[in-house]
């Protein structure tokens, strides 16, 4: 297997330099139609009012997201100045995250020494952690295997005015998002059920988070026939990974469940090539769970949280599961298979039953589950379905705070009939193409009983075809920030 040539390690500091000339680039924010910030004011005075003249002539603007790179016309101070437009509206955590990321990302076309992000005087202190996190996520890309790295990372990124506590927290958030993205961006020949499981064991070695891996033999002993069925066509057998962070005393755990189909060919219901190209991303739900668990572990949260990843490779061979098969799941419910490309919900059937046995206070599952959710909500919005409106309101509140887009889809009872089977308890597809995201959720609802549960369909926002100013194309790490905030609160 090839080894990745991409390294995102970068030195983060909070101290301002004593040698002003050693700063290659100074990054400073500018509000639209506003006066210069203290940092810009200092440079303006050193240069005889040069920034004021640019501002008055309209050559320097504060429109949100507009980046203006200027050479500094003084013997002292930074070599270059990057002015980041902050817009007119109240600055949010999303602004802090995206604008910091966009600024750093714009500098990665050539080697840099020290870069200073002077956002402490423009963003509220409670947003400083995501200023740091955003800068780190800008340094992660999908070009893992280019001979010459396409992103040239600065030697050092400094955050003057940011506390060490916020720097450390931001580092954890950024690295956790990047870890989830890296897992999704890895080729399927590198990341498959067994190697995914081993990477989790390595990640949590020597931490308070314990990891248990169920191989194909343990899955058979546990009656996880649904996971085994999906993985039956592959030479790489399935796994179930359980990460347990139990630092919250006697409280019932929160359980996060991730769909981990490390490659989805569609099975015997074979996908066309164009639809299969990005199917390494079909384990993004599981990768998100790993990212959240890493953040929880590194931050030492005093909560009980368990992450479960159901892992399988959906391939084609003589041993593939077939249309018309009936599978008896771990819970005892039977599934009629009418489309082997609706495999994620089949994997989750057993994984959710394992979650249910942990006696949780709440279950949240994440899955790149349906194209129908993308038809309904587009590529940037997470579809949310639930049996507990209070639980979903908590997650919606966290998503709103972090600026991640989430929208609830209805779970009316009349959808139940669409997943009923004539020969088994349920079938793995609904009636026709209509309401596909909801009927998939209705299928999953059969495996959580009355426990509070939220299903997050991340098929759209988990993987991006095109880059954005603040992020490369490929995996996005969506919902890591939201779920961390929800669990903390």
Is pLDDT of 390 > 80?
yes
459 and 345 in one domain? yes
**pLDDT for residue 383:** 98
- Does the residue 224 lie in any domain? yes
The active-site residue, picked from 31, 61, 64, 271, is 271
Both tokens of residue 450? 């009355």
- Does the residue 420 lie in any domain? yes
- Does the residue 172 lie in any domain? no
Cα 391 to Cα 38, 187, 280, 444: the distances in Å are 43, 35, 31, 17
345 noted as active-site residue: yes
223 and 83 in one domain? no
Structural domain including 183 reads 178-488
**Domain total of the chain:** 2
246 and 155 in one domain? no
DSSP bridge pairs for 84: 29, 67
Residue where a domain terminates, one of 114, 134, 162: 162
Cα 61 to Cα 50, 78, 97, 291, 400: the distances in Å are 14, 20, 20, 37, 28
- Does the residue 3 lie in any domain? no
292 and 143 in one domain? no
**pLDDT for residue 288:** 98
- Does the residue 408 lie in any domain? yes
Buried b or exposed e, range 326-356, using 16+ CB within 10 angstroms: ebebbbebbbbbeebbbbbbbbbbbbbbbbb
Both tokens of residue 445? 């609802």
275-279: list long-range contacts, CB under 8 Å, 24+ apart.
278/463, 278/465, 279/188
238 and 303 in one domain? yes
**pLDDT for residue 21:** 44
The active-site residue, picked from 118, 181, 345, 481, is 345
The share of the chain scoring above pLDDT 90, in percent, equals 87
Q: Which of 191, 157, 375 is closest to 286 using CA atoms?
A: 191
CATH of the domain at 48: 3.40.220.10
113 and 81 in one domain? yes
Q: Which residues contact 434 (CB under 8 A, 6 or more apart)?
A: none
Both tokens of residue 193? 């059920």
CA 298, CA 307: separation in Å to the nearest integer? 15
Is pLDDT of 483 > 80?
yes
Mean per-residue pLDDT for 289-296?
A: 98
Angle between helices 344-356 and 436-445 (to 10 degrees): 30
Mean per-residue pLDDT for 407-420?
A: 97
151 and 216 in one domain? no
155 and 182 in one domain? no
**pLDDT for residue 42:** 86
CA 283, CA 292: separation in Å to the nearest integer? 15
Count of residues making up the chain: 489
- Give the pTM: 0.96
**pLDDT for residue 3:** 61
Segment among 71-80, 103-112, 255-264, 430-439 with least mean pLDDT: 71-80
Residue where a domain terminates, one of 104, 135, 162: 162
Residue where a domain terminates, one of 138, 162, 186: 162
pLDDT, the chain, mean: 95
**pLDDT for residue 1:** 45
| DSSP-derived 3-state class of residue 50 | helix
431 and 383 in one domain? yes
Is pLDDT of 304 > 80?
yes
385 and 297 in one domain? yes
271 noted as active-site residue: yes
**pLDDT for residue 37:** 83
- Does the residue 167 lie in any domain? no
- What confidence category does residue 205 fall into, taking pLDDT thresholds of 50, 70 and 90? very high
Tens-digit pLDDT profile for residues 206-240: 999 999 999 999 999 999 999 999 999 999 999 99
201 and 231 in one domain? yes
186 and 139 in one domain? no
The share of the chain scoring above pLDDT 70, in percent, equals 97
CATH of the domain at 238: 3.40.630.10
Phi, psi values for residue 295, rounded to 5°: -65, -45
- Does the residue 6 lie in any domain? no
Mean per-residue pLDDT for 352-360?
A: 98
- Does the residue 170 lie in any domain? no
């Amino acid at each position: 297997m090839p080894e990745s040539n991409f390294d995102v390690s970068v030195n983060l500091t909070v101290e301002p330099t004593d040698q002003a000339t050693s700063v290659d680039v100074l990054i400073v924010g500018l509000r639209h139609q506003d006066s210069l910030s203290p940092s810009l004011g200092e440079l303006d005075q050193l240069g005889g009012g040069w920034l004021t003249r640019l501002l008055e002539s309209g050559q320097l603007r504060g429109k949100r997201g507009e980046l203006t790179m200027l050479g500094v016309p003084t013997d002292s101070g930074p070599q270059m100045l990057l002015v980041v437009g902050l817009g007119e509206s109240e600055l949010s955590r999303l602004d802090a995250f995206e604008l910091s990321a966009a600024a750093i990302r714009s500098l990665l076309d050539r080697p840099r020494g020290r870069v200073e992000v002077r956002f402490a005087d423009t963003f509220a202190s409670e947003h400083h952690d995501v200023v740091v996190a955003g800068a780190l996520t800008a340094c992660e890309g999908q070009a893992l295997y280019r001979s010459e790295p396409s992103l040239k990372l600065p030697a050092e990124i400094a955050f003057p005015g940011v506390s060490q506590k916020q720097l450390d927290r931001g580092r954890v958030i950024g690295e956790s998002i990047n870890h989830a993205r890296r897992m999704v961006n890895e080729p399927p020949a590198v990341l498959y059920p067994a190697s995914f499981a081993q990477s989790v064991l390595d990640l949590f070695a020597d931490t308070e988070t314990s990891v248990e891996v169920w191989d194909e033999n343990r899955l058979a002993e546990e009656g996880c026939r649904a996971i085994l069925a999906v993985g039956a066509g592959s030479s790489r057998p399935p796994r179930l990974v359980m990460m347990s962070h139990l630092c919250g005393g006697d409280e019932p755990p929160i359980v996060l469940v991730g769909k981990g189909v490390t490659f989805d060919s569609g099975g015997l219901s074979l996908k066309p090539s164009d639809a299969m190209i990005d199917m390494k991303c079909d384990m993004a739900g599981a990768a998100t769970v790993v990212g959240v668990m890493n953040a929880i572990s590194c931050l030492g949260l005093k909560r009980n949280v368990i992450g479960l990843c159901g892992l399988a490779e959906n391939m084609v061979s003589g041993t593939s599961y077939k249309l018309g098969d009936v599978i008896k799941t771990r819970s005892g419910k039977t599934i009629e298979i009418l489309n082997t490309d609706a495999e994620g919900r089949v994997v989750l059937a057993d994984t959710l039953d394992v979650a249910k046995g942990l006696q949780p206070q709440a279950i949240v599952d994440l899955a790149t589950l349906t194209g129908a959710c993308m038809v309904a909500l587009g590529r940037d919005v997470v579809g949310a379905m639930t049996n507990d409106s209070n639980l979903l309101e908590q997650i919606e509140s966290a998503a709103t705070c972090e600026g991640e887009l989430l929208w609830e889809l209805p779970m009316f009872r009349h959808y139940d009939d669409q997943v009923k089977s004539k020969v088994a308890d349920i079938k793995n597809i609904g009636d026709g193409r209509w309401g596909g995201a909801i009927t998939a959720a209705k299928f999953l609802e059969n495996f959580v009983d009355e426990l509070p549960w939220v299903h997050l369909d991340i098929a759209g926002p988990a993987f991006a075809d095109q880059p954005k100013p603040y992020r490369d194309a490929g995996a996005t790490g969506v919902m890591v920030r939201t779920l961390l905030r929800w669990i903390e609160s």
